[in-house]
Amino acid sequence: MTKAQDKGREAENFTAQFLSENGWPYAERKRLSGAKDRGDLTGTPGLMWEVKYLGRGVRARMAAWMKETKVQTENASADFGILVVKPPGFGQRQAGKFWAILAWDEWMRLLRQAVELSVDGVPVAPVFQHSNARMTTLGAKVTELDRIPGLEWVIFIPPRVFDGSGLAVMTLERLVPILHAAGYGGDGVPARTPNGSLSGT
């Protein structure tokens, strides 16, 4: 096994541990099985997690990673697919600061579901627009994301050509309460869709 593969598995373990301590007690790394990749973690009904390790000075391959996330979400028949990126220099104790990324339209759909289901309101953060050009080289300047006013922000990465797409980037700890409000995790019960039926696993 290569060093990069070791780092990738470490990132998956750190993410699974964070989720297990924050509403998904059965979250763990998924053992490889079957021909179709269904993500890196299991034990989080309705959600698919693709976890990436970003090496220091390495360019973040967002387009390719998001394409993988979309395919694996469909393979898993999950409600939402989330790309988690472990930045260099962030260990297990900083897992809540890992990047959590969704396609912008999926982020908006998640918010709508949270509004429909939440009794106590939805903890929505302000949006900061980040240029796509700067995001392309963010891997080499990873602390840049950490310096954006408060990691409580949700960052919108616009597409190069406006077509309604784009990315929603936030920290994992910022995403978790939104997922709870939308009916995922929180107390270990399976997620439910707005119509009350059980979502996919």
Reported as a single tens digit per residue, the pLDDT across 42-82 is: 999 999 999 998 887 777 788 889 899 999 999 999 999 99
In angstroms, rounded to a whole number, what is the distance separating the alpha carbons of residues 58 and 36?
28
Three-state SS for 28?
strand
Mean pLDDT of 20-29: 94
In this prediction, residue 25 carries a pLDDT of 95
In angstroms, rounded to a whole number, what is the distance separating the alpha carbons of residues 38 and 58?
25
The two structure tokens encoding residue 190: 């399976």
In angstroms, rounded to a whole number, what is the distance separating the alpha carbons of residues 8 and 148?
26
Structure confidence at residue 16 as a pLDDT band (50, 70, 90): very high
Determine what percent of the chain is predicted with pLDDT higher than 90.
34
In this prediction, residue 195 carries a pLDDT of 40
In this prediction, residue 161 carries a pLDDT of 52
Tell me which H or E stretch contains 72: helix 62-75
At residue 92, what are phi and psi to the nearest 5 degrees? -60, -40
The two structure tokens encoding residue 70: 């979309």
In this prediction, residue 141 carries a pLDDT of 42
**Which positions ≥6 away from 6 have C-beta within 8 Å?**
none
Instruction: Render pLDDT for 87-128 as a digit per residue (tens, 0 to 9).
Output: 878 888 889 989 899 998 999 899 889 988 877 777 666 566
Sheet holding 167-171, edge to edge: 47-53, 80-86, 99-103, 167-171, 154-157, 127-129
